[in-house]
Chains A and B, each alone.
Chain A
Amino acid sequence: MLITYLLDLLYLIAAITFVVGLKQLSHPDTARRGNQLAAIGMALAVLGTLLMHPAAPSSDSSARTLKLALLYTALGLGGFIGWRAAYKVKMTAMPQMVSLFNGLGGGCAALLAIAEMKLQYIQHHPTATGMILVLFTMFFGAVSLTGSLLAYAKLEDLVKDSAITLPRHGLVNMILVFIILGLIGYTVWGAGDAGLTWGLILFAVALLYGFSFVAPIGGADMPVVISVLNSCTGLTAAAAGIIYDNLIMLVGGILVGASGSILTILMCKAMNRSLTNVLVGNFGGGGATATGKTAGDQTVKEINLTDAAVLLNYSQSVAIVPGYGLAVAQAQKICKELDDLLESNGVEVRYAIHPVAGRMPGHMNVLLAEADVPYNKLFDLEEANEFLAKTDVVVVVGANDVVNPAAKDDPSSPIYGMPVLEVWEAKNVIVMKRSMKSGYAGIENDLFYHPKTKMLFGDAKDTLIKLSSEVKAL
């Protein structure tokens, strides 16, 4: 008996670490400590469950060896792969990794719901509320699993949006929702002892729905989708906590569910879009036609490396606008080199970072920090827009949609209203780009045709290396 009390105490401590950890995670100075604190709490909760949970097989039972062997193998396997994956993944691929881990958490919840459902049907006929909880956990877990996997595939560029989107996809999703609601109703109240089979059918449909739910949403919106699915998994963990009368699962799950929802809303705000708009309206698809008027008949001005180097070296202030292109080319360190060179020649270099630069809010800050760019040189959208007008040269490296003037002055553009970096206010703009291809959102960018803009074509890393050596040679 005493040992169960001890487990309760461990769960309580873990719950406190989760709350304090999350709180610390929301401040830059304490974030790392917060994460470690939550990790310690999690370790306590898991170890406590392993050693002290009342459901653990007693020492004289014959099943003990088998179950413990299975358990430790599973923990070892998951731990090893998880650890390796987390340390091997490139910083640029971080968002899809988070998505993948989230999906697996959802999968875990869905599977435990299936096992629990079977157990309930073996022991006794389950109550309606009990069944609803189990089906709720299973549904959201399954949606989170396939949805996250698809988000992962989209961010890795493994699938094309158009290849998996059906005509009238919104309607298809609606129908699926009705089928699912019907299935839940029938399984709980109508199916009787056949409920187990119907529950499994529901599981299959839920898997399909997760996939179908994410399919029509554009790649640029994946961070929001991941955040939504993240809170979904939180809710499933909480529901599972109710099923097992387990407080740590309930508290942990609900905390994530609630904070994940807020985070989703904050992200949408950073992009100036509503959540419904992200989840229902499709972004990018219709955009190409809406802004078709700009393409074709306008000319772009190119600049060569030497001229660019001279322009940069003899200016007072330079602002760098990094985008995902910089990250993909792994050019952060070269960028920092160029920055150092210019600084040593008395040029002030600052970085203007759009909240959604990279592929997730805050992603770019992480990438630049990796290259040792000091914190005080990074400026967010509002600060940057204040100094951009007074800046001599703005260098846009692999960014596109976040510097698109259409967001400010073209109401027909799908990104109209999104806050952007007003780089065209600066005296000169150099845009480094691989080609004239449109950005992640698939929208034309007038900035490239702007009178102040000069294009420097090529791979971001390559161009930056050459540019650095040109500056050195001056």
Chain B
Amino acid sequence: MEAILQFLHDNLLMVYLLIFSILLGIEVISKVPAVLHTPLMSGANAIHGVVLVGAIIVLFQARADDYWSLSVGFVAVVFGTLNVVGGFAVTDRMLEMFKKKKK
């Protein structure tokens, strides 16, 4: 319990940010038409690819002679990049079609 409170105290701004982001995420999405469910899910999917940033940091932090960590980081970066690039590209392809309709 004490550890949790200590953690809360040390990361107070982080916790605030966390809660406001949750509220913001809910607010931003709450009025979306069913037509856009698939593209929206796909777009959100691309955004959580931001975990790639973490994978890059892991690779930076790994010791140069620690091949195990280096390979894990390498695969993580590949996966993360796939998530980001593929996610945004697929979403764009879907949404491109919505644009055509307006002609």
**Residue of A19, A42, A55, A366 touching B97 (CB-CB under 8 A):** A366
Given contacts A128-B3, A262-B30, contact A82 B84 (CB under 8 A): yes
Given contacts A87-B89, A115-B73, A361-B37, contact A32 B98 (CB under 8 A): yes
The answer for the CA separation of A64 and B95 in the assembled complex, in Å, is: 40
Q: Which of B17-75 contact A (CB under 8 A)?
A: 17-18, 21-26, 28-64, 68-70, 72-75
**A45 near B43: Cβ-Cβ < 8 Å:** no
Q: At the interface, yes or no: A9 with Cβ under 8 Å from chain B?
A: no
Q: At the interface, yes or no: A270 with Cβ under 8 Å from chain B?
A: yes
**B53 near A246: Cβ-Cβ < 8 Å:** yes
Stretch at the interface among A93-101, A323-331, A334-342, A403-411: A93-101
Chain B hits for A39, CB < 8 A: 46, 88, 92
**B22 near A254: Cβ-Cβ < 8 Å:** yes
Given contacts A31-B95, A109-B54, A249-B54, contact A267 B37 (CB under 8 A): yes
**A105 near B57: Cβ-Cβ < 8 Å:** no
**Residue of B23, B50, B90, B101 touching A252 (CB-CB under 8 A):** B50
Nearest B residue to A360 via CB reads B38
**A32 near B95: Cβ-Cβ < 8 Å:** yes
**A236 near B51: Cβ-Cβ < 8 Å:** yes
The answer for the CA separation of A22 and B36 in the assembled complex, in Å, is: 11
Q: How far is the CB of B31 from chain A (nearest CB, A)?
A: 7
Q: At the interface, yes or no: A71 with Cβ under 8 Å from chain B?
A: yes
Q: Which of A43-69 contact B (CB under 8 A)?
A: 45-46, 49-50, 53, 55-57, 61-63, 66-67
Q: Which of A216-238 contact B (CB under 8 A)?
A: 223, 226-227, 230, 233-234, 236-238
Q: Which of B72-103 contact A (CB under 8 A)?
A: 72-102
Interface SS of A by simple majority: helix
Q: At the interface, yes or no: A111 with Cβ under 8 Å from chain B?
A: yes
**A119 near B62: Cβ-Cβ < 8 Å:** yes
**A75 near B77: Cβ-Cβ < 8 Å:** yes
**Residue of B17, B36, B70 touching A28 (CB-CB under 8 A):** B36
**A23 near B88: Cβ-Cβ < 8 Å:** no
The answer for the CA separation of A370 and B100 in the assembled complex, in Å, is: 8
**Residue of B26, B78, B82, B99 touching A258 (CB-CB under 8 A):** B26
Chain A hits for B52, CB < 8 A: 46, 108
The answer for the CA separation of A243 and B80 in the assembled complex, in Å, is: 17
Q: How far is the CB of A97 from chain B (nearest CB, A)?
A: 6
Q: At the interface, yes or no: A259 with Cβ under 8 Å from chain B?
A: yes
Q: How far is the CB of B98 from chain A (nearest CB, A)?
A: 6
**A108 near B55: Cβ-Cβ < 8 Å:** yes
**A74 near B81: Cβ-Cβ < 8 Å:** yes
**B47 near A86: Cβ-Cβ < 8 Å:** no
Interface footprint category on A: 35 or more
The answer for the CA separation of A431 and B24 in the assembled complex, in Å, is: 45
**Residue of B53, B55, B82 touching A248 (CB-CB under 8 A):** B53
Given contacts A233-B51, A360-B38, contact A38 B43 (CB under 8 A): yes
Interface SS of B by simple majority: helix
**A257 near B81: Cβ-Cβ < 8 Å:** no
**B49 near A42: Cβ-Cβ < 8 Å:** yes
**Residue of B23, B26, B63, B82 touching A78 (CB-CB under 8 A):** B82
Q: A112, A116, A366: which has the most chain B beta carbons within 10 Å?
A: A112
Chain A hits for B80, CB < 8 A: 78, 104-105, 108
**Residue of A98, A129, A362 touching B35 (CB-CB under 8 A):** A362
Q: How far is the CB of A370 from chain B (nearest CB, A)?
A: 5
Q: At the interface, yes or no: A143 with Cβ under 8 Å from chain B?
A: no
Nearest B residue to A80 via CB reads B85
Given contacts A34-B43, A263-B32, contact A101 B90 (CB under 8 A): yes
**A36 near B92: Cβ-Cβ < 8 Å:** yes
**B99 near A32: Cβ-Cβ < 8 Å:** yes
21 examples of A-B residue contacts, CB within 8 angstroms = A42-B46, A50-B56, A53-B57, A55-B57, A55-B60, A57-B60, A67-B59, A70-B73, A78-B85, A83-B89, A94-B90, A94-B94, A108-B77, A129-B7, A258-B23, A260-B41, A261-B26, A355-B34, A361-B37, A365-B98, A366-B94
Q: Which 10 A-B pairs have the closest CB atoms?
A: A78-B81, A258-B25, A63-B64, A82-B86, A86-B89, A361-B37, A82-B85, A105-B83, A252-B50, A74-B77
- A residues at B contact (CB < 8 Å): 14, 18-19, 21-23, 25-28, 31-32, 34-36, 38-39, 42, 45-46, 49-50, 53, 55-57, 61-63, 66-67, 70-71, 73-75, 77-79, 81-83, 85-87, 89, 91, 94-95, 97-98, 100-102, 104-105, 107-109, 111-112, 114-116, 118-119, 127-129, 223, 226-227, 230, 233-234, 236-238, 240-263, 266-267, 270, 355, 360-363, 365-366, 369-370, 372-375, 380
